[in-house]
């Protein structure tokens, strides 16, 4: 048996199951209707443009047998009360079991002349049988405009006697929401082979479609992250080779010669490419939105403060200030602290991009009881959420772009390093915690993003900090790398101070050098690189504990830094290696300062 045979049999089996489902639903519906009418003729619910492709509509003639009435029913005795009760029970059981409804269309001379809908239509579409009776074209008018051609073709094929399988399409619910439905049609013919009627089943499949779309989007984000991480790793290796050879050329040619200047240009280009690599690695971390993410009771205000400390230097360089209205109480959200910090960092930097001439970012945290919007898969649907609001004074988001801002790769920035994935990842992170993101904006009045995250009742006890804690000065302008290292270090019980530039780090060492045990320095720390900071530290203490980090090679770092006791770590930084290196330096120095 070939693959095609199995596929054909599977499709046929599914079609047969759909046919049986419609037949059963129609049979129960017709039985209940006829029983409710006492064996008489049910009144047609209305004529319709119908599932037709045009043509004049006519009402059934006086001699026509009403839809669903058995032949000879006019002479049959009235059904017993017991039969009526059983029919009604079967009808109700069917409606309870399926988010669906049945409709039936009577055909004369190959054209629809009347249509009737079951009571279940109200639950699925918001419209009852009387609505379809008043508006014969409601069945097509409620279909989403982009799907109407598909539905018309589906109906036309059945009227022509073709075997058209089930279709799925969108409708506009009476309350304005877009819903997905699955439509199945089963035709019925007389002895001469003429179509007398067809029964249809409309089933609400919105939940399944939303789950499928969410799964596809999550898998797409994961694939993007995996691709970004792989490209960054490979690209970094190539950059190391380029930078190493360019350095060798520069060191072995006469200054101001053409070859020397060309080598310097290559090194500058490699440094810019290194920035792209950093962003790719940051993107790879952000895209880690798997279902295995460990959720915890996160003190939201504390994470906001940490994010501000990590980003305020970079924001200040762009003339952007940030104001945080501290809540009266600490709110705990059921989320992942590391991912929340990454999400807030992305929102802050996104807000800064919208304020090219500088401005202010306002952040506040609150708590509210609300109901989840459609598309958020969580039970119960109503609950208490922690709300983080991030507002900016930028140019705002044009109305025509509001629906696209969360699309992957959509960006209005012209920079080559703008991937258009920041807001997409933020949305998926928050959705993974059982929350959602909303946005409001008016052109010229800035934008306001709100993260609504489920409230956590009790804090989750964290790990006990190990003995021998250190104070670390972390000097790195890359917010993503700095955030990752800070999480690792603070998670191990160390105290972390941050600086995003050479001058800031040198100033911190001048003020608090006696309290700093270890300094982590990014080789490309602006402005001018990390060399001035390393020199300042080693001039003060030749045996100072310094960890130099870079996407370039160790050899490249050695060529650009003074000799000394510093050690080197290659980016991307591995958490275990960072902690082991820190422990080794601590042992070499005889532990932290005695006052800690």
Q: What does the pLDDT look like over 405-417, one tens digit per residue?
A: 777 655 665 554 4
**pLDDT, average across residues 7-11:** 50
The order of strands in the sheet holding 471-475 is 495-499, 471-475, 518-522, 545-550, 567-570
Closest CA to 53 of 155, 162, 187, 189: 155
Query: DSSP label at 143?
Result: B
Of 26 and 557, the structure prediction assigns the larger pLDDT to: 557
Structure tokens that stand for 504 in this block = 């800031």
Q: Please compute, for residue 394, the number of CA atoms within 13 A of its CA located in the half-sphere on the CB side.
A: 26
E strand intervals along 138-268: 167-172, 178-189, 195-204
Q: Is 141's pLDDT higher than 90? A: yes
Q: Kind and range of the H or E element at 135? A: none
Q: With cut-offs at 50, 70 and 90, classify the pLDDT of residue 169.
A: very high
Cβ-contact 565, 537 below 8 angstroms? no
Structure tokens that stand for 9 in this block = 């049999």
**pLDDT, average across residues 317-346:** 87
- Which residue blocks in 287-413 are alpha helix, DSSP H? 300-316, 337-353
SS percent in the chain: helix, strand, coil, step 5: 45, 20, 35
- In whole angstroms, what is the distance from residue 383 CA to residue 75 CA? 59
Under DSSP, is residue 200 helix (H, G, I), strand (E, B) or coil?
strand
Q: With cut-offs at 50, 70 and 90, classify the pLDDT of residue 346.
A: confident
Structure tokens that stand for 97 in this block = 């079991």
Closest CA to 388 of 430, 354, 353: 430
Q: Is 118's pLDDT higher than 50? A: yes
Ranking 150-159, 206-215, 302-311, 339-348 by mean pLDDT, the lowest is: 206-215
502-512 helix and 531-540 helix, angle to the nearest 10 degrees: 20
Q: Which residues contact 534 (CB under 8 A, 6 or more apart)?
A: 521, 546, 548, 561, 562, 564, 566
Query: Tokens 């025509």 sit at which residue?
Result: 400
Q: Which residues pair with 117 in a beta bridge?
A: 103
Ranking 96-105, 185-194, 387-396 by mean pLDDT, the lowest is: 96-105
Under DSSP, is residue 41 helix (H, G, I), strand (E, B) or coil?
coil
Of 285 and 514, the structure prediction assigns the larger pLDDT to: 514
pTM over 0.85: no
């Amino acid at each position: 048996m070939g693959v095609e045979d199995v596929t054909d049999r599977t499709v046929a089996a599914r079609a047969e199951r759909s046919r049986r489902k419609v037949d059963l639903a129609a049979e129960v519906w017709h039985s209940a209707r006829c029983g409710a009418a006492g064996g008489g003729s049910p009144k047609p619910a209305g004529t319709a443009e119908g599932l037709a492709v045009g043509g004049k509509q006519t009402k059934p003639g006086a001699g026509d047998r009403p839809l669903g009435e058995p032949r000879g029913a006019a002479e049959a005795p009235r059904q017993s009360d017991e039969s009526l009760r059983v029919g009604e029970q079967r009808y109700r059981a069917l409606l309870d079991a399926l988010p669906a409804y049945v409709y039936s269309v009577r055909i004369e001379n190959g054209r629809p002349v009347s249509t009737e809908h079951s009571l279940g239509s109200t639950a699925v579409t918001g419209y009852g049988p009387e609505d379809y009776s008043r508006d014969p074209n409601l069945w097509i008018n409620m279909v989403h405009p982009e799907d109407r051609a598909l539905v018309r073709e589906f109906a036309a094929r059945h009227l022509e006697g073709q075997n058209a399988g089930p279709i799925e399409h969108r409708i506009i619910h009476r309350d304005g929401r877009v819903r997905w439905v699955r439509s199945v049609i089963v035709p019925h013919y007389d002895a001469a082979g003429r179509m007398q009627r067809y029964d249809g089943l409309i089933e609400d499949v919105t939940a399944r479609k939303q789950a499928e779309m969410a799964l596809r989007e999550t898998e797409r984000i994961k694939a993007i992250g995996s691709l970004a991480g792989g490209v960054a790793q490979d690209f970094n290796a190539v950059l190391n080779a380029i930078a190493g050879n360019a350095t060798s050329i520069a060191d072995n040619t006469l200054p101001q010669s053409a070859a020397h200047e060309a080598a310097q240009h290559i090194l500058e280009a490699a440094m810019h490419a290194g920035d792209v690599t950093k962003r790719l690695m940051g993107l790879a971390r952000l895209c880690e939105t798997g279902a295995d993410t460990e959720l915890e009771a996160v003190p939201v205000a504390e994470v906001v403060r940490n994010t501000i400390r990590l980003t305020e230097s970079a924001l200040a360089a762009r003339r952007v200030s940030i104001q945080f209205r501290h809540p009266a109480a600490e709110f705990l959200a059921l989320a992942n602290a590391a991912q929340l910090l990454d999400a807030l960092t992305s929102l802050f930097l996104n807000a800064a991009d919208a304020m090219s001439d500088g401005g202010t970012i306002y952040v506040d945290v609150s708590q509210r009881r609300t109901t989840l919007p459609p598309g958020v898969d969580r039970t119960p649907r109503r609950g208490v959420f922690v709300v983080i609001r991030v507002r900016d004074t930028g140019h705002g988001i044009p109305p025509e772009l509001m629906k696209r801002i969360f699309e992957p790769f959509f960006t209005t920035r012209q920079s080559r390093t703008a991937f258009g994935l920041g807001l997409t990842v933020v949305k998926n992170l928050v959705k993974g915690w059982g929350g959602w993101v909303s946005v409001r904006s008016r052109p010229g009045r800035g934008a306001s993003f709100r993260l609504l995250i489920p409230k956590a009742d009790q804090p989750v006890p964290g790990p006990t900090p190990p003995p021998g804690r250190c104070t670390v000065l972390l000097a790195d302008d890359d917010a993503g790398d700095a955030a990752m290292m800070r999480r690792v270090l603070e998670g191990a019980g160390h105290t972390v101070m941050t600086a995003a530039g050479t001058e800031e780090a040198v100033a911190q060492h001048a003020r608090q050098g006696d309290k700093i045990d270890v300094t982590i320095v990014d080789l490309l720390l602006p402005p001018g690189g990390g060399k001035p900071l390393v020199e300042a530290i080693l001039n003060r203490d030749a045996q100072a504990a310094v960890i130099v980090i870079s996407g370039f090679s160790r050899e490249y770092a050695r060529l650009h830094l003074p000799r000394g006791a510093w050690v080197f770590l290659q980016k991307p930084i591995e958490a275990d290696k960072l902690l082991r290196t820190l422990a080794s330096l601590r042992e070499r120095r005889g532990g932290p300062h005695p006052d800690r």
